[in-house]
Amino acid sequence: MPGKLVLIGAGPGDPKLLTLRAVEALREADVVLKDRLVPDAVLEEAGCEAEVVDVGKKPGGGGWTQEEINEKIVEEGSKGRTVARLKSGDPLVFGRGAEEIEVALEAGMEVEVVPGVTSAIGVPSSVGLPLTHRRYASSFAVATGHEDPSKPESRVDFKSLKEAADTLVVLMGAGRFKEIAEDVARASGEDTPVAVIERGTTEDERIKVGTVRDVLEGDLEADPPAIIVFGDVVGWWREVFGL
Q: How many Å apart are CA 83 and CA 32, to the nearest integer? A: 6
Contact call for residue 39 and ligand SAH (CB under 6 A) = no
1: annotated active-site residue = no
Q: Is 124 in the site for ligand SAH (CB under 6 A)?
A: no
Q: Which of 2, 115, 224, 235 binds ligand SAH (CB under 6 A)?
A: 224
135 exposed, middle or buried (CB, 10 Å; 0-12, 13-18, 19+)? exposed
Shortest distance in whole angstroms from residue 128 CB to ligand SAH: 15
Shortest distance, position 90 Cβ to ligand SAH, whole Å: 4
From the list 8, 9, 10, 14, the residue with the least C-alpha distance to 127 is 14
Report the alpha-carbon angle 216-95-116, nearest 5.
Answer: 100
Annotated catalytic residue within 57, 72, 159, 178 = 57
> What are the residues whose beta carbons fall under 8 Å from the beta carbon of 50, sequence distance 6 or more?
26, 29, 30, 31, 32, 84
SS3 62: coil
Active-site choice (14, 109, 172, 208):
172
Candidates 23, 46, 83, 93; binder of ligand SAH (CB under 6 A) is 93
Would you count residue 226 as binding ligand SAH (CB under 6 A)? Answer: yes
- Amino acid residing at 198: E
Determine whether 57 is an active site residue.
yes
Q: Choose the binding region for ligand SAH from 83-91, 153-161, 179-187, 229-237 (rule: CB under 6 A).
A: 83-91
Q: Is 35 designated active site?
A: yes
Which among 4, 34, 35, 183 is annotated as catalytic?
Answer: 35
Smaller CB distance to ligand SAH: residue 77 or 116? 116
| Residue in 182, 179, 211, 209 with CA at minimum distance from that of residue 196 | 209
Question: Binding of ligand SAH at residue 23 (CB under 6 A)?
Answer: no
Smallest CA-to-CA distance from 63 within 55, 53, 75, 52 is with 55
Site residues (vs ligand SAH, CB under 6 A):
12-13, 37, 87-90, 93-95, 118-120, 123, 171-172, 197-202, 224-227
Catalytically active residues, by annotation:
35, 57, 172
